Structure 1
Amino acid sequence: MTVAVGALTLFAVSQIGTPGPANMALMATGARFGLRRTIPFVAGVILGKQMIIWPIGFGLMNLATSVPVLFEALKYGSAAYIIWLAWRVANLRLTVDQDAKAPGFGAGFIVHPLNPKAWAIIVGGFTNFVAPGTSALYATATIAAVLLTCQILLHPLWTLGGHTLAKTLAGTRWEPYLMYCLAAATVASVLFVLFGGGA
């Protein structure tokens, strides 16, 4: 009855720390509004992943086996939503009124439930690092804690990275290209998860 915490942590860092739809959303939001104003959004992104971990840990994947079309619809519907967000990012500009409203906790909270990479990471955590016979509560709580810790450390760094880029490029001729690149990276990460088998 065990979870391979060390290996799980390395896996989590490699997945949460690399580009994906959530990190691109965090970077773009940080670029537009700065780190301080996007803290509620970052908190929502971090806690939203818990909305996937616990149902998966307590048997949601059994439903995926019995009704696979439901999960196919969820996967492609989620990808469409993330791609729509990328389109919005491509059309944003960094030089905005300081009174512009930054996205809040609720907007961040739905990012991971609609993120196919998040689902793949969590399912990979359960299938690769949990020994047979481990209780659902212990396995789920361990995976939830490891992923939460990695997110708390890594998600603000992506947001800060966006803010740093924005300070350098805002108002220059390179600004639109930054936003196009962030949007393109978001779309590419979604397509890789859908068709390339990545986590």
Structure 2
Amino acid sequence: MFETTLALILFLLPLAWSPGPGNLFFAAYGARFGLAATLPANAGYHLATWIVTLGLGLGFAEVSARAPGLFAVMRWAGAAYVLWLAWGLWQADAARGPAARRAGAAGGALLLLLNPKAYLIILLMFSQFIEPDRGAPGVLWIATVFTLNNLCAFLVWTLVGARIGARLRQGPAAGAVNRGLALLLAGVALWMAVAR
């Protein structure tokens, strides 16, 4: 079990810690609202991650295989959701404080649920690390390691974003920061929509 867990963590390092839609989303939100304000969205995202990972590991993949258009619909819906959040940041008035829409636990969960790339990574992970003789306990262990690894990565990205944002959030630069973060989120939405 130790060797499998170590191999799994090494496999997940570049996937979870490199800049991707989830990391960039939380970095941008950390920059805008600070670390503490993003914790509900992070909790929602990672609870959804754990549940989806368990579901895929226990057989949800068969349902997805029977509905090939599901990933396309999810890709476009996820991109639209992130674009909507970007629009809220673009319109935020820095002088009145954090008027942009904050993503709560439900928003964080929705971000995961509408991200087909997450499903593909999870399926790839199970194709490499599932041990048939371990059954449900093995799936539970992999889902937990995967989720905790992602949570650590997202918290680091959020903290980095929050530190950068704290330096730029004051004074006349704050409006430009909001628009820059909105453009970053719009780029994430485009990435989610077109990347396969």
TM-score range, shorter chain: 0.7 to 0.9
Per-residue displacement from partner, 1:158-187 (whole Å, max 9, x unpaired)?
A: 111221121222232752563145224413
Q: Is 1:126 equivalent to 2:140 in the alignment?
A: no
Q: 1:165 and 1:12 mapped to 2: Cα distance?
A: 26
- Percentage of identical aligned residues: 28
Kindly provide the amino acid, as one letter, of the partner of residue 175 in structure 1.
Answer: V
Instruction: Compute the TM-score of the two structures, normalised by the length of structure 2.
Output: 0.80
Matched AA of 1:70? L
| SS of structure 1 residue aligned to 2:112 | coil
Q: Is the 8 A contact 2:82 2:185 kept in 1?
A: no
Q: Would you say the 8 A contact 1:93–1:179 is kept in 2?
A: no
Q: What is the deviation of 1:141?
A: 0.9
Q: Which amino acid aligns with 2:19?
A: P
Q: How many Å separate the matches in 1 of 2:5 and 2:34?
A: 34
Structure 1 counterpart of 2:42, which letter?
V
User: Which letter does structure 1 place at the counterpart of 2:156?
Assistant: L
Are 2:179 and 1:147 equivalent residues in the alignment? Answer: no
- Larger helix fraction of residues: 2
Q: Tell me how far 1:150 sits from its aligned partner.
A: 0.8
Measure the CA separation in 2 of the matches of 1:10 and 1:64: 27
Q: Find the counterpart in structure 2 of residue 43 from structure 1.
A: 43
Partners of 1:32 and 1:94 within 8 A in 2: no
In structure 2, relative to structure 1, the CA distance for the partners of 1:24 and 1:109 (3 Å cut) is: same
Which residues of structure 1 form unaligned runs of 5+?
none
Q: CA RMSD in A?
A: 2.9
Query: Does 2:39 align with 1:65?
Result: no
* Matching of residues 1-199 of structure 1 within 5 Å: 4-92=4-92, 96-97=96-97, 102-131=102-131, 133-170=132-169, 171-172=172-173, 174-176=176-178, 178-191=180-193, 195=195, 197=196
TM-score, structure 1 normalization: 0.79
Quote the offset at 1:82 in angstroms. 3.4
Cα–Cα, structure 1 residues 88 and 101, in superposed 2: closer, same or farther, change >3 Å? closer
State the one-letter code of the partner of 1:187.
A
Deviating more after overlay: 135-144 vs 28-37: 135-144
Count of aligned residue pairs for this structure pair: 193
